[in-house]
Structures are given as C-alpha cells and as structure tokens.
Amino acid sequence: MADRPRIRLPKQAKKGELIEIRTLLPHLMESGQRKGADGKVFPRKIVNAFTCEFNGKLVFSATLEPAIAANPYLQFSARVEESGTFRFAWTDDDGTVITADEMITVI
C-alpha cells in the first residue's frame, strides 16, 4: 500500500476562480516488465486510475499506464463556484483505493 497522498490546493478562493490542484502519491509503480536476480518477473502493481470529485461531481479523471513513473504526480485546474470538498481517489491494480479529502472555502 502507498503512503499518504500529498495534495496542494488553496484553502480559499473567489467564486468562479480557476484554481490549480497538485497531487503526488508515493507509490513504487512496478510495471511488470522488470526481472529480479532470480530471473522472475516482478508482478505488475501500478495505480491505474485517478479521479477527483468536487461535492460529488467528477471534475477530473485519468487512466494511468505502466509507463508512468513511480510516485505519480498530477496537476490540473478546476473552477470553484461554492465551498465544498474535493475527493481524490487512486485505484491500484489489486483493487486498493486510496482516498483523500481536502476542503476549500469560497469567499
């Protein structure tokens, strides 16, 4: 399992403002193509999907492939019209879902 995700977004924004959101998930991202000293292939274990919802509505999603680097970093923008909560979710190959919530206040 991965460590706690790191998320950066403003704590406050003006109504209708476009904000920048940055996320980083500590994760080894094993592609399934690398061999160990014994010659056996390490099993694939990557984060294959990411979603971001704001107050229950999807604002961004991404499908990640084996070529993605370890510790996937994503940066995107969202427009906020009201105060609420962003929910971030990363889904691993084994079905594990890592989530994090961040609140923002619209002034």
Higher pLDDT, 68 or 76: 76
Q: Measure the CA–CA gap between 34 and 55, rounded to whole angstroms.
A: 40
Domain carrying residue 76:
6-33+42-106
Find where tokens 């924004």 sit. Answer: 13
The pLDDT score that the predictor gives to residue 2 is 55
Q: Which residues pair with 23 in a beta bridge?
A: 7, 74
Instruction: Tell me the pLDDT of the chain averaged across its residues.
Output: 94
Contacts of 56 (CB under 8 A, 6+ apart): none
In-domain check, residue 1: no
Q: Over pLDDT 70: what percentage of the chain? A: 98
Domain count, the chain: 1
| The pairing of beta strand 97-106 with beta strand 12-13 | parallel
Cβ distance 2 to 91 under 8 Å? no
Q: Which residues pair with 51 in a beta bridge?
A: 61, 89
